[in-house]
Amino acid sequence: MASEELQKDLEEVKVLLEKATRKRVRDALTAEKSKIETEIKNKMQQKSQKKAELLDNEKPAAVVAPITTGYTVKISNYGWDQSDKFVKIYITLTGVHQVPTENVQVHFTERSFDLLVKNLNGKSYSMIVNNLLKPISVEGSSKKVKTDTVLILCRKKVENTRWDYLTQVEKECKEKEKPSYDTETDPSEGLMNVLKKIYEDGDDDMKQTINKAWVESREKQAKGDTEF
């Protein structure tokens, strides 16, 4: 549901909550209010995350911040994007285009690759990526060395399929971060069900309270009054 619709639902719940006098009704409406507020908050976070991902995709060649472990430097930062046929990994290494071609080695398996750059400014650089999200074609994969950049081309075994993540581990980590509630649930439907149950189980006073609050909230919305 769009954030605008959720906001309207929240405003209506606030009106009903303001009019309700019965504790049971107020408790139910308060729970719905918290649920809708949580839904709005998570949708805003999802929008921010998508925006950040789009910005990252515009700059696939991330600046490398290597972690030095003795003589060999482990590459920890990289950028990646994809086409219908390839997953492309960009590694920025200043001066890499000046070393002999044989000093830049990449080994592929169906679900991994490792890069080794020898004798660049007196050091070696390595990067190992295991558990790729999907299988790749070893024969169709390759590397290209450009100015200050190593481009690794992993040929998708199944073309025209989208990779949402580079590795299986990244996918599992992201999925754990997702909220556990059902994001497809319509908050309006949940509110209606709660009010319906309270109405059916309630006495005459409770029914009168709900009817009055509902009518007043509808009239208020019809007049365009959304300030509470």
Which domains, and CATH codes, for the chain?
A: 1-50 (4.10.860.10), 72-173 (2.60.40.790)
Q: Residue 112 above 80 pLDDT?
A: yes
Q: pTM of the entire structure?
A: 0.48
Evaluate if residue 218 carries a pLDDT over 50. yes
pLDDT at 212 over 50: yes
Percent of the chain with pLDDT over 90: 39
Model confidence at 202: pLDDT above 90: no
Pull the structure tokens for residue 97.
């285009």
Q: What is the pLDDT of residues 56-111, one digit of tens each?
A: 666 555 555 555 444 789 998 899 999 999 999 999 999 999 999 999 999 999 99
pLDDT tens digits for range 162-200: 999 999 998 888 888 766 555 455 555 666 677 777 767
Q: Residue 211: what pLDDT?
A: 75
Alpha helices by DSSP H, 65-186: 168-177
Query: Please, what is the average pLDDT of the chain?
Result: 81
In tens, the pLDDT along 145-154 reads: 999 999 999 9
Degrees to nearest 5, angle at CA 114 with 109 and 151: 100
Q: Strand 104-109 to strand 86-92: parallel, antiparallel, or no bridges (unpaired)?
A: unpaired
Band (228; pLDDT cuts 50, 70, 90): very low
- How far apart CA 39 and CA 94 sit, in angstroms, is 45
Please name the residues in contact with 116: beta carbons below 8 A apart, sequence gap of 6 or more: 104, 105, 106, 124, 125, 126
Which pLDDT score is estimated for 15? 82
